[in-house]
Amino acid sequence: MSKPIVTVSQLNRYIASKFEEDSHFGGLFVRGEISNFTGHYASGHLYMSLKDEGSVIKAVMFKGNASRLKFKLYDGLKVTAYGRVGVYEKGGNYQLYIEDIMPDGEGALWLAFEELKKKLSAEGLFDESLKKPIPKYPETVGIITSPTGAAVQDILNILKRRYPLARVIVYPVTVQGITASGEIAAAIKRANAEKRADVLIVGRGGGSIEDLWAFNEEQTVRAVFSSEIPVISAVGHETDFTLCDLAADLRAPTPSAAAELATPDTAMLSASMQTVSLRMKNALLKLTESRREKLKRLKTDLQKSTLKLCAERSQELDYITEKLTNSVKKLLGEKKHAAQLIAFRLAALDPKAVLKRGYAVVTVDGRNVTSSKMLKKGDRAEIMLASGCATAEIIETEGNNDEF
């Protein structure tokens, strides 16, 4: 039985299918040193080889995965790559298709740390002038950490002891592993959306640089920086340092210290309140005594000024009274003199006064007789004298001349 003849393409496709069917070639972690590195800037794909002391394998990292890199690749860098082995059918060679890649070893992690630190610092994420103040008396404290770790218990115990007035909201997240960074960033965004917390504590207990790496991830750092709620970073022990510490509004050396920095101490507040209360009491007593003395001085001054004013007003009243009395006397004298003149004139015009001088009033039939022409012989005339009256009969009239 003769074997079939296949084309090169068919052969390469068959070999590729065998790689795809074998689970050993999928989901591999491969450690090696980068060589022949090339970044294709037009497509965004990264091409390289991974080698060790005895062998080499070609590798490619496509743009979608390469865009998530947090550090630069270069020849000689030792890395651990994750991906699958497949066949590039057109070239007829197998290669590693890298999905994720990390610097190999702690030194390489610090390299990634420094590169991301440099990048974010250039963008201003660590600018001290942008730090928000931590509220002195928060009503609600938000805690973003693992709900099962020792760190959350330390924070809760210290908050309860120092400042039991504050409410506490725990946003549970994983703080280690591939999903940790996304969960921490999502919890920070959720806390800001809910707007219930006045301050956030973001952190975990101590560990290796690999354990703490979620707090060096770019999305975690950006979420901390973008938080409208002030953030206290509390990652690891005092010697541990992460990029979240630089982006946060305040760094605490430990989670326990973060709880102390986030809240005031009620015991110290109570002592301070007592001191302030005593100072206020003394100040009020001093002020009361000062006002009392001032009131006494004002009362004395008022009495003196009142007496002085009364004396002055009494003297003015005497002067006015005397002046008014003199004016009244003068006015009465003038009126009396005028009245005397009028009385004198009236007396001069009084008919009785004329009669007393020997004159008489003659009337006939009730008419005053002022001329002899008004009389005729035989008229009976009434004669009014200064004292008494008489009746006369006209016997004869003469002297018709009215002029004397």
246-301 pLDDT, tens digit per residue, is 999 999 999 999 999 999 887 776 667 777 788 888 888 888 888 888 888 888 88
Which residues pair with residue 38 across a beta bridge?
A: 47
Query: Dihedrals φ, ψ of 108, to 5°?
Result: -70, -35
- 234 has a pLDDT exceeding 60: yes
- CA separation, residue 378 to residues 28, 194, 393 (Å): 183, 143, 6
Q: The domain at 115-264 falls in which architecture?
A: 3-Layer(aba) Sandwich (3.40)
Instruction: Please check whether residue 36 is in contact with residue 48, taking contact to mean a CB–CB distance below 8 angstroms.
Output: yes
Q: What is the reported pTM?
A: 0.49
Q: What is the per-residue pLDDT for 271?
A: 67
Q: What is the per-residue pLDDT for 108?
A: 63
Topology (CATH) of 8-104: OB fold (Dihydrolipoamide Acetyltransferase, E2P) (2.40.50)
Q: What is the per-residue pLDDT for 404?
A: 41
113-128 average pLDDT score? 90
By CB atoms closer than 10 A (0-12, 13-18, 19+), residue 341 is: exposed
Which H or E element spans position 109? Answer: helix 106-122
Q: What is the per-residue pLDDT for 77?
A: 87
**Structure tokens of 338?**
């005028």
386-404 pLDDT, tens digit per residue, is 788 888 888 888 865 554 4
Q: What is the per-residue pLDDT for 147?
A: 93
Q: Which amino acid is at 280?
A: M
132-144 pLDDT, tens digit per residue, is 999 999 999 999 9
Q: What is the per-residue pLDDT for 368?
A: 83
Integer Cα distance of 127 and 121 in angstroms: 8
Q: What is the per-residue pLDDT for 343?
A: 78
235-242 average pLDDT score? 82
78-101 pLDDT, tens digit per residue, is 888 888 888 888 888 889 999 888
191-195 average pLDDT score? 96
Percent pLDDT > 70 in the chain is 95
